[in-house]
Amino acid sequence: MATADANAVVPSSQPSNPKPRPIVRIGTFLISHSALFSLICCAAGILALFLLPVLAKNTYVSENALMPGSANPMFSNHDTMEANRLVKDIMDLKLSSGIAGIEISNLLGKYMTERDADVYHHNFHVQKNQFHLGNFFSDSSYSWHMKENRSCAQYGINTVAIIRAPRGDGKEAIVLVSPYNSTNIRQSDALSLGLSYSIFSLLSRVNWLAKDIIWLAADSQYGEYASVAAWLKDYHNPSFLDSDKSDDCTCPESNALLGRKDSQILQVVDGKEETKDTLSIYAEASNGQMPNLDLINIVNYLAVHRQGLHVKVAKLYSVLNAAWLRTVGQIFEFIGKTAKIVNPQWGFGISAADYVEGTATLASSIYYQALGIPTGSHGAFRDYQIDAITLEMSPRFSLYNEVRRSDFLLRGGRLLEGVIRSVNNLLEKFHQSFFLYLLSAPSKFVSVGIYMIAFMLLIIPLPMVAASLYSGPNKRESSARTNNENPDPAAAIVTSSGSKSWKWLHAAKVVFVVHLWAGLVSLIPYLVNQLPERTPTACMLVWVLLSFVSLIILYWIAGSPYSYKISHQSPNMEWAILKAVMISVASIGLGLMSIINYATAQIGAIFMVPMCLLVHPLKHAGNAGKLRVLSLTTSNMVLAVIGFPPAALLLVKGWLEGFDGVSLGDFWIWAETLWTWNSATYLYLVLIHLPCWVLCMHILLHP
């Protein structure tokens, strides 16, 4: 009995370790196999991008209140006669006076007054922005102001007419914009004004309007966007001139403006030779903003199913003619046919031609959203959270053919009437359909829930690899210290943790200094713009020189990234921790950019993720086999070239347009365009992509 009791109470010499939870074991497994995990995720992310045209859905009208095409059109041949009358008067005015200028504004005001509309003239002067710290983060991309020492000939004059809705409360409006160049008016401009006037004339007689109608005849001698943006700024922030100061200017009317919110539809006519009457839709606004998809849906539905127009959206023709893309399309077509044989209910199939067309359209949508520059004057409305699009109608005949022109005006007028009727039915702002989407055709789209999968697959490896790099050298160092220096495990853990913390702080300091330098680089163009008689190439060289000098000065103040004493027991730990911190910051930057502009983040991830994952010290690669040395060196050098923003731009431009016309100043011109339009892509390139590239170069040359 005593022996049994003695055996029963013998305590265990070591406490039992609790079994880790499944999620912890999965995380540990992924971190320990980060290389394989990264390869699978990156391949899946690229494949998901190529699958987007296949996964595109047909568009549909989400808001039931729109009811496109539910009413019979009222626009008739009488309205086309009104349009032709204005077109004739405008062209006669041009022939009689050579440069019409202010006479066109007066003529439009006369026609508008005949419809009992409230008419005024909006005078503005535009100056293109130079790089400045204050206005770079402002809402508008142009500055406009009134000065007493300017004559009316130096101003643009917008002519504005307002119809008060008989069933409205004056708080909402639909805006119809017709840009025209007052200094060189063309037949297409006159036709645009004539069509807009005919629909405006019709709306002045109807009794079903629930929203006011504003017709803005925008003087586009300074650009279509500038005239609309100037009017919108004064519309939302009215300014009234002093009567004493305004007496010096004999412009037709003053700047009397209203101050209420509105909804907008934008219409532009441009005469071209086409095989059929065509309607082109432009929707991209600044920084990847898009109008509510329902607005595009009702235009596409009415144009195709009611007026028989061929609807187009922009395509990248360099992608459209690529032979390799046609091969990819044939592969997906074969897979779709095979899947349909296995299960007829699977709707995976897509023809090779449709795949190529969808990819070219999708690439154009991503490109223009990533560029962050509006594709038309509708972008000025989107800056005020007003849904707007640009419509460009191209007839298949000459605009001077009066017989065919009347039929074209009839179809265009009925299209605009139908769109205005639908928007007039809304009781609230557009909200039912998507605001985040990519177009693969006028009637097909890819929603945010689909295209974000490709982006997430590309950036998911970054935190995994960062954790693997951070934990790998530390485990080896802890093991070395335990076996060689300190037999006490507790003391070994304390020593290793302290060393690890200091190394992490040094890597964080290096990353912080480089990002601080990037912030200075983003502001250098303000100094460069002060130089007299500057050329794009000279500006680019000065920008590069000042950036390099500022980096040297920061290193002299804060210390070189290679100044930390390297441990002989863990020579790989320093660059591995630096790479881990760099990858962590890059993943955060890409994630934040995806919230601001998905397209910019997606294109940036395609370049940044391989560069971050594959970068490796060239000196350390010499210890491996010859094949691994060759592959690592080649991949790192290629990524170092294409990962540098100026080099990437010049290579892409040379590939698309030929290398004969490529110069170093092209990147300065491109960057100047980005900051003129306050594009967030400029911030991404300088504050996220450039410091990541510099840190990769540090790791590549690490001793």
Residue 289 has pLDDT above 60, yes or no: yes
- What's the CA dihedral at 242, 248, 249, 252 to 10 degrees? 80
How confident is the model over 248-275, as a mean pLDDT?
45
Mean pLDDT (whole number) for 190-212: 92
Question: What is the arithmetic mean of pLDDT over 245-271?
Answer: 43
**Percent of the chain scored above 90 by pLDDT?**
39
Give which of 590, 582, 549, 571 is closest to 694, Cα–Cα: 582
Mean pLDDT, residues 344-373 taken together: 88
3-state helix, strand, coil in the chain (%, to 5): 60, 10, 30
Task: Say if residue 136's pLDDT is above 70.
Answer: no
Whole-prediction pTM: 0.85
Structure confidence at residue 197 as a pLDDT band (50, 70, 90): very high
Taking the C-alpha atoms of residue 476 and residue 440, their distance in angstroms, rounded to an integer, is: 51
**What percent of the chain has pLDDT above 70?**
80
Return the SS3 of 241: coil
Give yes or no for residue 198 having a pLDDT over 90.
yes
More confident residue, 590 or 223: 590
Q: How far is CA 85 from CA 97, 161, 185, 235, in A?
A: 18, 19, 16, 30
pLDDT at 264 over 70: no
Q: How far apart are CA 463 and CA 508, in angstroms?
A: 16
Question: Which residue has better confidence, 158 or 238?
Answer: 158
pLDDT in tens, 648-685: 888 887 776 777 778 888 889 888 888 888 888 999 99
> What pLDDT, on a 0 to 100 scale, did the predictor assign at position 135?
52
Spatial distance between the Cα atoms of 205 and 116, rounded to a whole number of angstroms: 10
Output the 3-class SS for 67-81.
Answer: CCCCCCCCCCHHHHH
pLDDT for residue 153 is more than 60: no
**Are 181 and 189 within 8 A, CB to CB?**
yes
Work out whether the CA dihedral 158, 164, 169, 172 comes out positive or negative.
negative
Name which of 280, 277, 281, 282 is nearest 308 in CA terms: 277
- What residue segments make up the domains of the chain, in order of their start? 64-314+375-433, 503-703
The pLDDT tens digits for 578-628 are: 899 999 999 999 999 999 999 999 999 999 999 999 888 877 666 666 777
Report pLDDT for 96.
73
Confidence grade of residue 138 (pLDDT, cut at 50, 70, 90): low
* 50 vs 47: CA distance, rounded Å: 5
Which region among 74-83, 488-497, 536-545, 614-623 has the lowest average model confidence (pLDDT)? Answer: 488-497
Rounded to an integer, the average pLDDT of 420-430 is: 90
Measured in degrees and rounded to the nearest 5, phi and psi for residue 445 equal -145, 160
Residue-level pLDDT at 432:
87
Contact by Cβ (8 Å): 197, 86 = yes
Residue with tokens 């009637």: 443
| Listed ranges 7-16, 120-129, 204-213; the one with the highest mean pLDDT | 204-213
Task: Answer yes or no: are the C-beta atoms of 292 and 387 closer than 8 Å.
Answer: yes
219 sits in which H/E element: strand 212-219
Check pLDDT > 60 for residue 4: no
| pLDDT at site 14 | 52
Cα pseudo-dihedral 380, 382, 386, 387, rounded to 10: 110
In tens, the pLDDT along 460-485 reads: 999 989 888 877 655 555 554 545 54
| Full DSSP string of 18-49 | PPPPHHHHHHHHHHHTHHHHHHHHHHHHHHHH
- Give the Cα separation of 516 and 695 in Å (integer): 13
95 pLDDT higher than 60: yes
Q: Which amino acid is at 266?
A: L
Q: Is the pLDDT of residue 130 over 70?
A: no
The yes or no reply on domain 64-314+375-433 and CATH 3.40.630.10 is yes
Give the pLDDT of residue 470: 78
- In this prediction, residue 217 has a pLDDT band, given cuts at 50, 70 and 90, of very high
Task: Please answer whether residues 41 and 457 qualify as being in contact, where contact means their C-beta atoms are separated by less than 8 angstroms.
Answer: yes
- pLDDT given for residue 5 in this prediction: 47
Q: How confident is the model at residue 249 (pLDDT cuts 50, 70, 90)?
A: very low
CA pseudo-torsion sign 400, 402, 403, 404: positive
Mean of the per-residue pLDDT values of the chain: 81
In the chain the first and final C-alpha atoms are separated, in Å, by 70
Beta bridge partners of 58: 444
State pLDDT tens for residues 372-402. 889 888 999 988 889 999 999 888 877 777 7
Query: Above 80 in pLDDT, residue 692?
Result: yes
Strand 173-180 relative to strand 118-124: parallel, antiparallel, unpaired? unpaired
pLDDT tier, 341 (very low <50, low <70, confident <90, very high otherwise)? confident
Residue type, 148: E
